[in-house]
Chain A
Amino acid sequence: MAATHTTLAKSGPMPPPARTLAQRLRAGDQVAHGITLAAAASILLITALLVFELYINSTESRAKFGWSFLITQTWDPVADEYGALPFIYGTLVSSALALLIGVPLGVGAAIFLAELAPPKISDALTFLIELLAAVPSVIYGLLGIFVLVPILRVAEPSIRALLGWTPLFQGPFYGVSLFSAGVVLSVMIVPFIISISREVIRAVPADQREAALALGATPWEATWDVVVPYAKSGILGSIFLALARSLGETMAVTMVIGNDPKIKASLFAPGYSIAAVVANEFTEATGQMYTSALIELGLVLFALTIIINGLARALVATGSMGGKA
């Protein structure tokens, strides 16, 4: 960049005929426009190519299984019969669990940081929490295997005593399970919910809150009944973004989910997610159909995240426009 800078500066003092200078400069504008346009266009190209590669390489599987791929439970490499349902189930359940734990924590902390904490402390804590978002996924997996799973194994009897009457906590607990995956994911998505929600809550006009307080509301009532509804769509957007992230999360999940393609009601049972099965089996899938089915799983995951992301963006956009949803 420095080089371009100097050559341009040199061309400055030379006094060529005015018309040529203007022309050249306009040409320069066009070149710059062209180059940046090409870069922007290449982003479209790469994305299109990505979709194309996924689509074309999953042809065999799509042709053989059709839409029933999405609702078939079998995953049988010996008979070459593949269905995505157990993986879709595992992906959705582990993510839902992550939201169940992560959303109250995240929104609660966001309210505290935006409304209650002194600005300095709030900034420092937010800084710390946003660092959590930077921790690589494989490290969460490492902690999941060696720290979380042993802790959960100790906590299991109490969880069972508390919630064992539901079908969700039946059957033996192996340590690795849908439940463990949900807990790890919740830790991973909380920072996203906090940092976006905090911004959205902060952006709520101060008079809204002050009006409520003036009418005799307690600080909590002002926050919960006035500020939070005002920021609702922004908060929802942050939740959807977090969801999109947890759906595609690979390494941390494959290390703790148990990798078993079965649909069981119990969260203590091992499960499997789309991203995890691709990571585990992609390099070793023998046979065209097997590979093709795995790539189709990639396509399904891609579609799933696009839908969720789209919803999230739409919500954040309406939220930031200040409209009450």
Chain B
Amino acid sequence: MYRTIRKLFLLLPLGLAVAASAQQVLINAAGATFPYPMYSKWFDEYHKKFPNLQFNYQSIGSGGGIKQVTEGTVDFGASDGPMNDKQIAEFKAKNGGAGVLHFPTVLGADVPVYNLPGITQQLNFTSEALAGIFLGKITKWNDAELSKANPGVNLPAKDIIVVHRSDGSGTTYVWVDYLSKVSKEWETKVGRGTSVNWPVGLGGKGNEGVSGQVKQTPYALGYIELVYAVQSKMAYGRVKNSAGVFVAAALASVTAAAASVKEMPGDFRVSITNTPGKDAYPIASFTWLLIPEKIGNATKKKAIKDFLAWMLADGQKMSAVLGYAPLPAAVIAKELKVIARIS
């Protein structure tokens, strides 16, 4: 008995050595869950193209992306909320003065998802309804604010079970950025951030966690990235934009939101929630890769720069299939210039 076990233990390292033999470049990245389906597709395709390059992307949340790239535990991060000035200062302090660059990759949208047994229509949400629900002021599905926006829908007299993110999240950032713009009360009481002090609701970890939670819980309402809603076949609502039109999140409406940005700032940190335009979906956002300006390892630096260029060209063509809106051409041109700043 023991002899067999001992043999197994002797064989173990041998097997491991074989598994690890090929000389691989592993680039570690972590962050946003919002573009994870896109990134995992990109990194998989890129790995097929260059089998010796592995981009290991872990979707731990935007807060995690910001934190881990600041601590230097990953080669680059990703976030759906741009880093704020304080976070950039902290990054510089920890990385010998070198800064961090934001690279927009695709556009996405937050959608309100719900689990209402027996209701098949797509619900309409006003900004007042969403702010009220997340502030804990609207607690029933048949509240006047909701029934008014959804004539003909038999909304149940059930409690709304609010689900939010338990981790630091860019999806949250986009959501609360929107709520802050449409509700004074939200802005003063709760504010913006990748994690906030939620007035109500229960937490799920990641876009995965929130959608899992909503799916498992009848009468739940949460917010997730559009692609997650589509992929996991969940019902999501239309949201009333600043022009007063109920708009469903889709490629066109998200692109319309991006088009409203007249001038892209040099560091690409821009918010596109609640933008004007009657076709624009109001809870849309760019999502960014956070790349350190200085990358010590030459092999990794080259791999990352090459990947960025590929992502802005071939990569963009894959986004629409997965439900993400590709970047406007002007933004791509601007980004290609910034790649050179990585040294």
Answer whether A and B touch in the complex at a CB cut-off of 8 Å: yes
CA gap between A259 and B163 in the complex, in Å? 10
Check if B60 sits within 8 Å of A259, measured CB to CB: no
Q: List, in ascending order, chain B residues with CB within 8 A of A286's CB.
A: 63, 66-67, 70, 87, 168, 194-195
Check if A77 sits within 8 Å of B87, measured CB to CB: no
Nearest residue, chain A, Cβ from B203: A259
Check if B197 sits within 8 Å of A79, measured CB to CB: yes
Residue count of chain A within 8 Å CB distance of chain B: 30
Q: Is A258's beta carbon under 8 Å from chain B?
A: yes
Check if A280 sits within 8 Å of B166, measured CB to CB: yes
Q: List, in ascending order, chain B residues with CB within 8 A of A145's CB.
A: 212, 216
Q: List, in ascending order, chain B residues with CB within 8 A of A182's CB.
A: none
Q: Is B108's beta carbon under 8 Å from chain A?
A: no
Nearest residue, chain A, Cβ from B81: A286
CA gap between A78 and B198 in the complex, in Å? 11
Check if B192 sits within 8 Å of A287, measured CB to CB: no
Q: List, in ascending order, chain A residues with CB within 8 A of B167's CB.
A: 280-281, 284
- Give, as a whole number of angstroms, the nearest-CB distance from B256 to chain A: 30
Q: Is B319's beta carbon under 8 Å from chain A?
A: no
Q: Is B61's beta carbon under 8 Å from chain A?
A: yes
Check if B197 sits within 8 Å of A76, measured CB to CB: yes
| Mask of B142-171 contacts with A, CB within 8 angstroms, 1/0 | 000000000000000001010000111100
CA gap between A145 and B64 in the complex, in Å? 25
Q: How many A-B contacts are there with CB distance less than 8 Å?
A: 100
Check if A281 sits within 8 Å of B216, measured CB to CB: no
Check if B193 sits within 8 Å of A77, measured CB to CB: yes
- Give, as a whole number of angstroms, the nearest-CB distance from A202 to chain B: 30
CA gap between A285 and B90 in the complex, in Å? 13
Residue count of chain B within 8 Å CB distance of chain A: 41
Check if A285 sits within 8 Å of B216, measured CB to CB: no
CA gap between A145 and B216 in the complex, in Å? 9
Q: Is B217's beta carbon under 8 Å from chain A?
A: yes
Name which of A153, A175, A254, A259 has the most chain B CB atoms within 10 A of its CB. Answer: A259
Check if A78 sits within 8 Å of B202, measured CB to CB: no
Check if A77 sits within 8 Å of B168, measured CB to CB: yes
Q: Is B99's beta carbon under 8 Å from chain A?
A: no
Check if A270 sits within 8 Å of B197, measured CB to CB: no
CA gap between A270 and B202 in the complex, in Å? 6
Interface of chain B residues 206 through 233 with chain A (CB within 8 A): 212-213, 216-220
Check if B161 sits within 8 Å of A172, measured CB to CB: yes
Check if A285 sits within 8 Å of B203, measured CB to CB: no
- Give, as a whole number of angstroms, the nearest-CB distance from B233 to chain A: 18
Known A149-B216, A284-B168: A77·B197 in contact at CB below 8 Å? yes
- Give, as a whole number of angstroms, the nearest-CB distance from B92 to chain A: 14
Check if A284 sits within 8 Å of B196, measured CB to CB: no
Check if B168 sits within 8 Å of A175, measured CB to CB: no
Q: List, in ascending order, chain A residues with CB within 8 A of B276's CB.
A: none
Interface of chain A residues 235 through 289 with chain B (CB within 8 A): 254, 258-260, 270, 272, 280-281, 283-288
Check if B60 sits within 8 Å of A174, measured CB to CB: no
Name which of A153, A174, A176, A254 has the most chain B CB atoms within 10 A of its CB. Answer: A174
Nearest residue, chain B, Cβ from A291: B67
Q: Is B68's beta carbon under 8 Å from chain A?
A: yes
Nearest residue, chain A, Cβ from B94: A288
Interface of chain B residues 30 through 73 with chain A (CB within 8 A): 30, 60-68, 70
Check if A288 sits within 8 Å of B90, measured CB to CB: yes
Nearest residue, chain A, Cβ from B193: A78
CA gap between A76 and B205 in the complex, in Å? 17
Q: Is B132's beta carbon under 8 Å from chain A?
A: no
- Give, as a whole number of angstroms, the nearest-CB distance from A274 to chain B: 14
| Mask of A21-58 contacts with B, CB within 8 angstroms, 1/0 | 00000000000000000000000000000000000000
Q: Is B190's beta carbon under 8 Å from chain A?
A: yes
Q: Is A74's beta carbon under 8 Å from chain B?
A: yes
Check if A77 sits within 8 Å of B216, measured CB to CB: no
Q: Is A112's beta carbon under 8 Å from chain B?
A: no
Check if B168 sits within 8 Å of A176, measured CB to CB: no
Q: List, in ascending order, chain B residues with CB within 8 A of A79's CB.
A: 191, 197
Q: List, in ascending order, chain A residues with CB within 8 A of B63's CB.
A: 281, 284-286
Known A149-B216, A174-B217, A288-B90: A283·B159 in contact at CB below 8 Å? no
CA gap between A77 and B86 in the complex, in Å? 14
Known A280-B167, A283-B60: A260·B193 in contact at CB below 8 Å? no
Q: List, in ascending order, chain A residues with CB within 8 A of B190's CB.
A: 78
Check if B205 sits within 8 Å of A280, measured CB to CB: yes
| Mask of B234-252 contacts with A, CB within 8 angstroms, 1/0 | 0000000000000000000
Known A78-B191, A174-B217, A283-B68: A260·B60 in contact at CB below 8 Å? no
Nearest residue, chain A, Cβ from B168: A284
CA gap between A78 and B300 in the complex, in Å? 34
- Give, as a whole number of angstroms, the nearest-CB distance from B171 to chain A: 12
Nearest residue, chain A, Cβ from B205: A280
Q: Is B277's beta carbon under 8 Å from chain A?
A: no
- Give, as a whole number of angstroms, the nearest-CB distance from B224 to chain A: 16
CA gap between A113 and B120 in the complex, in Å? 54
Check if A74 sits within 8 Å of B61, measured CB to CB: no
Q: List, in ascending order, chain A residues with CB within 8 A of B192's CB.
A: 78
Nearest residue, chain A, Cβ from B197: A76
- Give, as a whole number of angstroms, the nearest-CB distance from A243 to chain B: 25
Can you list 29 A-B pairs with a CB-CB distance of less than 8 A?
A: A74-B197, A76-B196, A77-B168, A77-B193, A77-B196, A77-B197, A78-B193, A150-B216, A172-B159, A176-B213, A259-B166, A259-B202, A260-B198, A260-B201, A260-B202, A260-B203, A270-B203, A280-B167, A280-B203, A280-B205, A281-B195, A283-B64, A283-B68, A284-B67, A285-B67, A286-B67, A286-B168, A287-B90, A291-B67
> Which residues in B have some Cβ–Cβ distance to A below 8 Å?
30, 60-68, 70, 86-87, 90, 159, 161, 166-169, 190-198, 201-205, 212-213, 216-220
3 closest Cβ pairs, A-B complex:
A284-B64, A259-B203, A76-B197
> Which residues in A have some Cβ–Cβ distance to B below 8 Å?
74-79, 145, 149-150, 153, 172, 174-176, 254, 258-260, 270, 272, 280-281, 283-288, 290-291
Extra contacts, 4 of them, besides A78-B191, A176-B202 (Cβ < 8 A), are A259-B166, A260-B203, A272-B203, A287-B87
